[in-house]
Amino acid sequence: MNGCFETVEELAARIPDGASLAVPADYSGCAMAAVRCLVRRGVRDLELIAVPQAGLQADLLVGAGCVSVVEASAVSLGEYGLAPRFREAVSSGRITMRDSTCPAIHAGLQAAEKGVPFVPLRGILGSDVEAHRSDWRVIDNPFEAGDPILLLPAIQPDVALFHAAVADRSGNVWIGVRRELMTMAHAARSTLVTVETLTDDDLLTDDRTAAGTIPALYVTAIAQAPEGAWPVGLRGSYPADGAHLRLYAEAAQTEEGFRRYLDEFVSSARA
């Protein structure tokens, strides 16, 4: 393992101001305990990369003033409505929004994973998203004249941050079917993971877990954080806390309500 086992606070301290930070969608394993540490620390100027979309963790970080740029296909609280602090920050111009799509974000990460500077993609050609991305390029297919193709730059985050069910003592992390987390770990310069539990079993030598395990080679540091995704759920471990997400969605409609939420649930309680 490249790094070590740490506390959640120590792990979050590895994310500096100005870092590009890749985080997964709510269904993939959100390191909410670490996100709350970042908010308490007052990290600033993060470039948040949603893989490929984001929810509560993005809204918390944006609302707390931790983020200057967001790249995402969407930021939403899903059935609980719009992400209110994100919406306000975009509307006021407080953050820069780089609109993308799910295939584009996955493709950009896959390019970094493979060590290539760009990747071709077709489906976005002619769209409003393409028209507003000056860092994307349309060229002629070098193998077929008159066939345009879109080139996307590789996405190599400084840090990938996510939560998983289990890691072993060697630093291997089991993610199950959430293969986008594997891509994030391969693409990022460093990978920080919170986990529910640690096991003495070797996850890579068991055929039942090996295919869904990120080898320790790609993991910089791990922190054990039981219920570390709360109030977002974790597949196979616990569901999302719907009542709490609804409470947040209502509170965060105003700056004052959001600050009260931070005081009650981030600054001191359930860190």
Instruction: Quick: pLDDT tens for 37-74.
Output: 999 999 999 999 999 999 999 999 999 999 999 999 99
Instruction: Quick: pLDDT tens for 119-131.
Output: 999 999 989 999 9
Mean pLDDT, to the nearest integer, of 206-223?
A: 97
What pLDDT does 268 receive? Answer: 76
Alpha carbon distance 49, 42 (integer Å): 19
Alpha carbon distance 1, 85 (integer Å): 37
Architecture of domain 4-101+155-263: 3-Layer(aba) Sandwich (3.40)
pLDDT exceeds cutoff 80 at 1: no
Q: How confident is the model at residue 159 (pLDDT cuts 50, 70, 90)?
A: very high
* CB of 90 closer than 8 Å to CB of 97: yes
Asked if residue 226 has a cis previous peptide bond (ω within 30° of 0), the answer is no
What pLDDT does 163 receive? Answer: 98
Q: How confident is the model at residue 4 (pLDDT cuts 50, 70, 90)?
A: confident
Asked if residue 120 has a cis previous peptide bond (ω within 30° of 0), the answer is no
What pLDDT does 2 receive? Answer: 44
Q: What are the φ/ψ torsions at residue 153 (nearest 5 degrees)?
A: -70, 150
Indicate the pTM of the whole model: 0.95
Alpha carbon distance 56, 86 (integer Å): 10
Q: Average pLDDT, whole number, for the chain?
A: 96
Alpha carbon distance 87, 255 (integer Å): 12
